[in-house]
Amino acid sequence: MTVTDHPALDTTSAPGTPRIPPISDADVVALAAEVGRAAAPFDAGHDRDATFVTEAYAAMAEHGYLRLAVPTELGGLGATLRQVVLAELELGRHSGASALAAAMHLYLTLVQRWRLRNGAGDAEAALRRVAQEGLVLATSGGSDWVCPTTTATEVEGGYRFDGRKGFCSQAPVAGVLSTSAVLGEPGPDAVVLHAGVPMTAPGVRLEQTWDTLGMRGTASHDVVFDGVFVPAEKIMGKRPYGVLAGPLLAAAVHFAPVAAAAYLGVARGAHDEVLRLRTGSDAPGTVRRVGEMAGRLRVARWALLAAVDEVGDHLAVDEATLATVMTAKRHAVLEARAVVDTALEVAGGRAFYRTSPLERAYRDVRGGPFHPLTPEDTLTLVGRRELAPVSG
């Protein structure tokens, strides 16, 4: 059975009919490779022009990649968190921008699945829309994190959102933006509201601001809210201002391993390119450097998959889980950067040309440490937990 023929893609089965088993690890990786091969020939152009990876998303729509984490009974492929990580590791080898853009949708799908398991009444409808309508989910979580600058003003029937969100990856194709706004004067007593806002809602405007060092094909433009009405029933949750809790904590624990996999995939692609460039006459030190790249990649992959196995597919949304997955993310993004740096040293001057995939990989992996939690913030979190008094 080919990936594209997997019966999980059939969303026409009548209610109550037997469901097919979830997708296998092998099919997940094959699916990601198929999307990656469709995306790779266009990466240089999108990187040069800072345009969106449209060909990759066309392939994702055709082959069901964005339905990976939707349960099979809702029309998806039923992939586990571990399988989503495997898919992003493979896709990142071929197209870093495609993998990172898709990571934002995939982790939000995982959050909706977690909400469904925990009794959220609106989660099923969102997941069905992803599977059956091709709805693309985007996020503004990287814009202002625990302290949003976007404001929420209470009005009849709901709230008015005003402000600007940056780093909204895949914004050109997104149908819903998972976002937040502060209710009241920003500070310790304020409350942050979380909601999914349709990109077609009156007052939502996309501004094409994405002109960056790396990951240029993600089209992570700004989204402006100008008097956007959000009905009260669309508020997914609340949390204290300045605190990583509630919906944002759920997002963070699902985001970390998926995004880390995309960056580690880029590093694996750089390793592969070095092997492709081999002339057969290895200079002194080359063999050792190639071995170092391979060793770093293996250990980082082990760490990432072990962290996912440790927290499990039905992970707890708490600080312990956050510390586990963020530690793995920190290791993955730093090792990805080290691997790509070494790849350039091995390739030599050929990698200095803009036409080299290694030059693009060098810039793309620089984005990894910027995603919250940053490597330093992760160490602070882990250190604080280590030094906390043991109760009981």
Q: Is-same-fold flag (3-135; 246-387)?
A: no
**Which parts of 278-351 fold into alpha helices (H)?**
286-311, 319-347
At residue 265, the pLDDT reads 98
- Specify the fold of 3-135: Butyryl-Coa Dehydrogenase, subunit A; domain 1 (1.10.540)
Low-confidence ranges of the chain (pLDDT < 50): 1-18, 392
Three-class DSSP category at 313? coil
- Neighbour-count burial for 139-153, b at 16+ CB within 10 Å, e otherwise: bbbbbbebebebbbe
Dmax (CA) for the chain in angstroms is 74
CA distance 263 to 338: 12
Considering the four listed CATH numbers 2.60.40.1930, 3.40.1190.20, 2.40.50.140, 2.40.110.10, the one that applies to the domain covering 141-240 is 2.40.110.10
At residue 282, the pLDDT reads 76
- Closest by CA position to 66, among listed 112, 105, 38: 105
At residue 102, the pLDDT reads 98
CA distance 341 to 259: 20
At residue 16, the pLDDT reads 45
SS (H, E, C) 216-276: HHHCCEEEEEEEEEEEHHHEEEEEECCCCCHHHHHHHHHHHHHHHHHHHHHHHHHHHHHHH
Strands 151-155 and 176-183: parallel
Considering the four listed CATH numbers 1.10.8.590, 2.40.50.140, 1.10.3300.10, 1.20.140.10, the one that applies to the domain covering 246-387 is 1.20.140.10
DSSP state of 23: P
At residue 167, the pLDDT reads 96
Domain ranges of the chain: 3-135, 141-240, 246-387
The pair of structure tokens assigned to 154 is: 């209470």
CA distance 152 to 191: 10
CA distance 392 to 375: 31
**Do 194 and 248 form a contact (C-beta atoms < 8 A)?**
yes
At residue 8, the pLDDT reads 41
At residue 391, the pLDDT reads 57
| Residue 225 backbone dihedrals phi, psi, to 5 degrees | -105, 120
